[in-house]
Chain A
Amino acid sequence: GEDVEQSLFLSVREGDSSVINCTYTDSSSTYLYWYKQEPGAGLQLLTYIFSNMDMKQDQRLTVLLNKKDKHLSLRIADTQTGDSAIYFCAEVGSSASKIIFGSGTRLSIRP
């Protein structure tokens, strides 16, 4: 079945890079997404990558996709306090009719 897994917590020092990892099971996924959710808010689309790409960079964000291992990562360079949030990885399921979300990784920043 379709499943997306993430670790629940990540703590990094301000100014360091954060790397949030995600694994998925559906090898036919076409799109993979990263969303950010701040307290009391909805989900904000951060970036996405097509399955035929290995990497995508957008300012401080770098997405790496390893299709062979079904592994997706989000790297946030120069992590700031404003980056504190829950980050969700999501994939388009094989039926291409719905998006499957991971459980989210809570990123906390320490001074």
Chain B
Amino acid sequence: KAGVTQTPRYLIKTRGQQVTLSCSPISGHRSVSWYQQTPGQGLQFLFEYFSETQRNKGNFPGRFSGRQFSNSRSEMNVSTLELGDSALYLCASSPRLAGSYEQYFGPGTRLTVT
């Protein structure tokens, strides 16, 4: 069974631009969660989608948004990029809601904002 895939793996953007990251979960998994990982803040939860609905959201500004499609693939969008958005963005999939089952992580997308 293929693992969680994320595209692109690396991305360089400039301040003020917007970016869309994609995550394809493990086949049959309906939950996709997104995390931001930085050296200073560690792993921070962004949001979780389950069956195309956002089920939970972390403490991030409205510039961070996401969606999930009927095939469970998910996209995350960040608008008006800031230097502080430079991070590794990880997505994780789970067959059920993340709080009730272990999650499986993708390799991440490394976003650099200049």
**Residues in chain A within 8 A of chain B (CB atoms):** 31, 33, 35, 40-45, 48, 88, 92-93, 95-104
Q: How far is the CB of A48 from chain B (nearest CB, A)?
A: 6
* B4–A97 touching, CB < 8 Å: no
The residues of A that contact B55 with a CB separation of less than 8 Å are 97
The residues of A that contact B58 with a CB separation of less than 8 Å are 98
* A44–B105 touching, CB < 8 Å: yes
* A99–B105 touching, CB < 8 Å: no
- Taken residue by residue from 17 to 56, chain B's Cβ proximity to chain A (1 for < 8 Å, 0 otherwise) reads as 0000000000000000101000000110100100000011
Q: A97-B56, A98-B33, A98-B58 are in contact. Are A45 and B102 (CB under 8 A)?
A: yes
A sample of 21 cross-chain residue pairs with beta-carbon separation below 8 angstroms, ordered by A number, consists of A31-B100, A33-B102, A41-B107, A41-B108, A42-B6, A42-B105, A42-B106, A43-B43, A45-B105, A88-B43, A92-B99, A98-B33, A98-B48, A98-B56, A98-B58, A98-B98, A99-B33, A99-B45, A99-B99, A101-B35, A101-B42
Q: Which of B48, B90, B100 contacts A42 (CB 8 A)?
A: B90
The residues of B that contact A104 with a CB separation of less than 8 Å are 42-43
**Residues in chain B within 8 A of chain A (CB atoms):** 4, 6, 33, 35, 42-43, 45, 48, 55-56, 58, 90, 92, 97-100, 102-108
Interface centre among A40, A43, A48, A101 (most CB of B within 10 A): A43
A31 to B58, CA, bound (A): 20
A65 to B29, CA, bound (A): 29
* A97–B99 touching, CB < 8 Å: yes
Cβ-closest chain B residue relative to A90? B43
* B103–A45 touching, CB < 8 Å: yes
* A97–B98 touching, CB < 8 Å: yes
Given A31-B102, A45-B104, 16 more A-B residue pairs with CB atoms under 8 Å apart are: A31-B100, A40-B107, A41-B107, A42-B90, A42-B105, A42-B108, A44-B105, A45-B102, A45-B105, A92-B100, A93-B99, A96-B100, A97-B48, A97-B99, A99-B99, A99-B103
